[in-house]
Structure 1
Amino acid sequence: MASRHMFGAVQRRAFSASAKQASKVSVLGGAGGIGQPLSLLMKLNPRVTELALYDIKGGPGVAADISHINTKSTVKGYQPDADGLKQCLAGSEIVLIPAGVPRKPGMTRDDLFNTNASIVRDLAKAVADAAPEANVLVIANPVNSTVPICAEIFKSKGVYNPKRLFGVTTLDVVRASRFISQLKSTDPADENITVVGGHSGATIVPLLSQAGYSLEGKELDDFVYRVQFGGDEVVKAKDGAGSATLSMAMAGARFAESLLKAAQGQKGVVEPTFVDSPLYKSDGIDFFASKVELGPSGVEKILEVGKITPYEEKLLDACKTDLKKNIEKGKLVSVG
């Protein structure tokens, strides 16, 4: 009985009070390494009333398994064909896209581009046709390129809404907050390090100074490197058996929860995320991750980066150089 109460307490801390309205969430890639734990977390979220899972293999089986969990939401897995995908998406408020191949040792997120670009492109076409008003949360890497792919697809279909397309960079925030808590012996739940830029390597820019921290020298360099390349740490530790699936699922669920809270009327919901942004368009950078205030229509307000140190300014300069290339690479993917 104690364990049951403990789980309930954890669930209440992880997700807010009961849903105020019907919310259908679809997970494209729901049977994958990220998709399964992400779907589990969505089933535990009381704001979700209907959970729809799609994958090229195993979607109905994962849905059957998760459906036995004693929360109110209904769960259904769909067949891996065009009609199944269409039914999965119909009426969705949020579409999560973790679909794609995982990284292996020695691979960068850019190495995934050729395979994952075509997967995301085809899924984006289906979303444009079946759920053009949904909030689309892209997890499939490389996010710096897959989000622009989705944008171009939606533009070609005449349904692009920049307020409803998000690249999920929450894992960078989660990592930065955890890593600083390890250095400073603080409670990681009390840390919330702002991370801006993109979601790969040097495009990830943690802004420690805005949280009141002033690491120096090697300690600062090591912290930044670990945040930027934390994914490599996991890939290496899994020894070819996968990438950061569980932590990414938690991060994706956290962002989806924030979006649901905002959609259901909660004010002041702010999360860093990779969106169509005006902040550096003058530099030719159409998408950028920064703090975003969320609302019923998706993006409510994009916040400025704010005051940063000279060290962080150098990181940001390096970020912008790489990020511009990543975005252009995504835009060039054929929409045919």
Structure 2
Amino acid sequence: MATSAATLSVGTTPTCNSKPCMLPKSNLFNLRFNSPNYFQCFSGLKAAASVSCESESSFLGRESSIALRDSFTTCVTRKNHEPVLCQQPQASSFKVAILGAAGGIGQPLALLIKMSPLVSAVHLYDVADVKGIAADLSHCNTPSQVLDFTGPAELPNALKGVDVVVIPAGVPRKPGMTRDDLFNVNAGIVKSLIEAVADNCPEAFIHIISNPVNSTVPIAAEVLKKKGVYDPKKLFGVTTLDVVRANTFVAQKKNLRLIDVDVPVVGGHAGITILPLLSKTKPSVSFTDSEVQELTMRIQNAGTEVVEAKAGTGSATLSMAYAAARFVESSLRAIDGDADVYECCYVQSELTELPFFASRVKIGRKGVEAVISSDLRGLTEYESEALEALKPELKASIEKGVAFANKQPVAA
């Protein structure tokens, strides 16, 4: 099919098969699209200046593409075959705190979150170097306010009144390191930050990124219990990157449109505890035994792939920020009343005999509304064996986190 380039100013409203697709108002620049008449909006952050025709990549997936449309009140008319905007997007007002905002994940994550029209304020916290980042980010012409907070003395103010807390703080993984090698440093960081969360915004959704997630989430749970504010429905380990990678690798392997691909990933967030359920891939697709083994191992070891490619200069920061932004956006949609929000994440669960487990969940205004058990039914022999094989390692990681939290005194 022949294509022609069209120029669309950000702020106009492209349409997708007669359905309105919306971008935020801006007069700073134009975007070019290779499409004669069909635009597919795929900005899961809803304010990202990106649309494409039959795109091979989705910013946050099909659900967020729908949310992009649904989060705006639009009226689309056409003049000379060009879409014309006649209403502005409705504003929402949620505050998000990023603890560890000066780090390799925190900085791009802050940028992506500031792009969301659901966000009214982004609170950036770190022990140093956050003022310059906040000043830089504040120059972006999106409506959300950027506030900076430096050091433990300012942490309480960073947390007051926020709806979602995201914790990417900690040391990154280096070549040869496993996520468990990070435990001794990151466990203490997460503990102290969660204590502050418990004291200043106990009702907020808590998103844990700091590795090893298999252990840091149980640490957070124990601290919140000791503080008397634990709500298991609002504590999430962010395993979205495993889903993002699975979707990407499967789409590439099977030559599928990425926007259509959805692979549930269960278990945990390290090595063999990461279990992509390839048999549950949507759209339905067949894999040979060798393809299943190859894809599973690549998804499980994708973090190492990035660490080695960066040759000691860092770990998966950009893709993790992207995945975390997707999960933040999903949480905000749920808090805002979207009744159709599903994500894979690591939560307190009764799906298996383990107290914490990553699976697909339905998220609502008050957090996890349902754990989707159907994904674990009808597994292939390979998946069933892999599920049983991951349990001892995941169990040990959970117990390690609980033991750490119970040995440490909780600040009053």
Which position in structure 2 is the counterpart of 1:79? 150
Do 1:156 and 1:335's aligned partners in 2 also have CA atoms closer than 8 Å?
A: no
Question: TM-score scaled to structure 1, two decimals?
Answer: 0.95
Shift of 1:39: 0.3
Which position in structure 2 is the counterpart of 1:30? 101
Do 2:91 and 2:117's aligned partners in 1 also have CA atoms closer than 8 Å?
A: no
Which position in structure 2 is the counterpart of 1:101? 171
Do 2:278 and 2:292's aligned partners in 1 also have CA atoms closer than 8 Å?
A: no
Shift >4 Å, 4+ stretches: 7-10, 12-15
What are the ranges of 5 or more consecutive residues in structure 2 without an aligned counterpart? 1-6, 10-28, 34-40, 52-58, 72-88
Specify the SS of the correspondent of 1:6.
Answer: strand
Instruction: Report whether the alignment pairs 1:218 with 2:218.
Output: no
Which position in structure 2 is the counterpart of 1:311? 382
Which position in structure 2 is the counterpart of 1:300? 369
Which position in structure 2 is the counterpart of 1:192? 262
Do 1:152 and 1:335's aligned partners in 2 also have CA atoms closer than 8 Å?
A: no
Say which of 259, 273, 279 aligns to 1:203: 273
Do 1:26 and 1:95's aligned partners in 2 also have CA atoms closer than 8 Å?
A: yes
Say which of 205, 209, 214 aligns to 1:139: 209
How many angstroms apart in 1 are the aligned matches of 2:229 and 2:222? 10
**What pairs with 1:1-336 in structure 2 (closer than 5 Å)?**
4-6=29-31, 11=48, 14=59, 16=68, 17=71, 18=89, 20-82=91-153, 84-211=154-281, 212-280=284-352, 283=353, 285-304=354-373, 305-333=376-404, 334-336=407-409
Letter of the structure 2 residue corresponding to residue 189 of structure 1: I
Letter of the structure 1 residue corresponding to residue 314 of structure 2: G
How many angstroms apart in 2 are the aligned matches of 1:19 and 1:326? 44
Specify the SS of the correspondent of 2:96.
Answer: strand
Bigger shift: residues 56-65 or 95-104: 56-65
Do 1:19 and 1:47's aligned partners in 2 also have CA atoms closer than 8 Å?
A: no
Do 1:277 and 1:286's aligned partners in 2 also have CA atoms closer than 8 Å?
A: yes
Q: 1:6 to 1:306 in 2, by over 3 A?
A: farther
Shift of 1:102: 0.4
Shift of 1:232: 0.3
How many angstroms apart in 2 are the aligned matches of 1:335 and 1:132? 20
Shift of 1:203: 0.4
Shift of 1:117: 0.4
Do 2:92 and 2:117's aligned partners in 1 also have CA atoms closer than 8 Å?
A: no
Q: 1:19 to 1:51 in 2, by over 3 A?
A: farther
How many angstroms apart in 2 are the aligned matches of 1:86 and 1:96? 15
Bigger shift: residues 165-174 or 73-82: 73-82
How many angstroms apart in 2 are the aligned matches of 1:250 and 1:103? 18
Do 1:19 and 1:48's aligned partners in 2 also have CA atoms closer than 8 Å?
A: no
Letter of the structure 1 residue corresponding to residue 161 of structure 2: G
How many angstroms apart in 2 are the aligned matches of 1:293 and 1:42? 22
Deviation sequence 1:34-85 (CA, Å, 0-9, x none):
0000000000011000110001111121111111101100001112132x10
Deviation sequence 1:254-273 (CA, Å, 0-9, x none):
00100100110111110011
Structure that is richer in helix per residue: 1
Q: 1:110 to 1:19 in 2, by over 3 A?
A: farther
Which position in structure 1 is the counterpart of 2:81? none
How many angstroms apart in 2 are the aligned matches of 1:254 and 1:231? 18
Letter of the structure 1 residue corresponding to residue 31 of structure 2: M
Do 1:166 and 1:273's aligned partners in 2 also have CA atoms closer than 8 Å?
A: yes
Specify the SS of the correspondent of 2:31.
Answer: helix
Letter of the structure 2 residue corresponding to residue 326 of structure 1: S
How many angstroms apart in 2 are the aligned matches of 1:264 and 1:78? 26
How many angstroms apart in 2 are the aligned matches of 1:81 and 1:215? 51
Specify the SS of the correspondent of 1:114.
Answer: helix
Bigger shift: residues 254-263 or 8-17: 8-17
How many angstroms apart in 1 are the aligned matches of 2:252 and 2:138? 37
Let me know the Cα RMSD of the aligned residues: 1.7
Question: TM-score scaled to structure 2, two decimals?
Answer: 0.78
Shift of 1:213: 3.0
What are the ranges of 5 or more consecutive residues in structure 1 without an aligned counterpart? none
Deviation sequence 1:208-252 (CA, Å, 0-9, x none):
111233322332211100000100000000000000000000000
Which position in structure 1 is the counterpart of 2:14? none
How many angstroms apart in 2 are the aligned matches of 1:248 and 1:25? 17
Do 1:278 and 1:286's aligned partners in 2 also have CA atoms closer than 8 Å?
A: yes
Do 2:165 and 2:206's aligned partners in 1 also have CA atoms closer than 8 Å?
A: yes
Sequence identity percentage: 50
